Structure 1
């Protein structure tokens, strides 16, 4: 991949990462519930989910999902179901007031591997992401050159921008921990993020395969 092409893709990657979606909601939800240092493991899962999508697109499965109604529907509704599960879970989360990282130490922590898995599921089971990558990535590929190295560059670039952007989303939500002084405030935030997950699930449910 030529440097000029990479610069263009690098700029596009920021727009992709910054665009609001399930990943941003998941990152902020993790930051709110677990603080920055622990919640950031959700972002590692989100990046792994993006890399999974790139592998899917790279080996041609993305084209199948984009062209097969059945494959698209299976992945789509699996994604909708998982986002709804996260929404209900967040809505029903205990309204324990959290005012600092130290206060959070008294809360039972979700294992890091579970946060990583949740993040991976959010991005991996998302046909909208697959179709989006199918539309964007080929524009930056030089078909006259080996594709493996180019996909690695693309994966590393998207991974980097997502790590930075989701760190911002996670930190922004984690800062709210210091402003929470009552169980009622925590419950309101839990229900806000729960509703956001449900909203994103509804948007995904309306997403249709092109053509």
Structure 2
């Protein structure tokens, strides 16, 4: 076997190993995200407090969601802390993002369901960078689809930065006291949000 063939074999083995490792990582991330709605009940007791490994509560170790102030599509100032006492589903999205737009119809239905009570709310934070996503594009997308959920404009990217948003859609679940329960990357079914709400009530 000459040197050129040996080098080619080494390159192909390296490429194959890289692809297999990548597929394993993606599969495992998807699996954990897909089942997060079911697993959350294992980490929360009936009072809504996170449990530690010994079965006790970790109230003192709760991670509080960073508060923020953004404008909605009507120009109103909205603070996350305005919703303390409710369970908040904080969804980061953009109109150019296919997975984001695919979950929107079900999120809208969940929003309508939430509107019947006082337990929960969806806040849809648009990554309005002014280039790929502008306020006009976001506003047109919402209007064209007749969505009524609360949309907030993150024009500086500061909120996305505070929440370490590296991919969208990402949805944070924030408890009534303002603490982060969990987060989910990738598009979600509306039922996942409803199931989480039931487990946190």
TM-score scaled by structure 1? 0.23
Q: Which has the larger radius of gyration?
A: 2
More RCO (CA 8 Å, sep 6+): 1
TM-score scaled by structure 2? 0.24
Greater helix fraction, Structure 1 or Structure 2:
1
Greater strand fraction, Structure 1 or Structure 2:
2
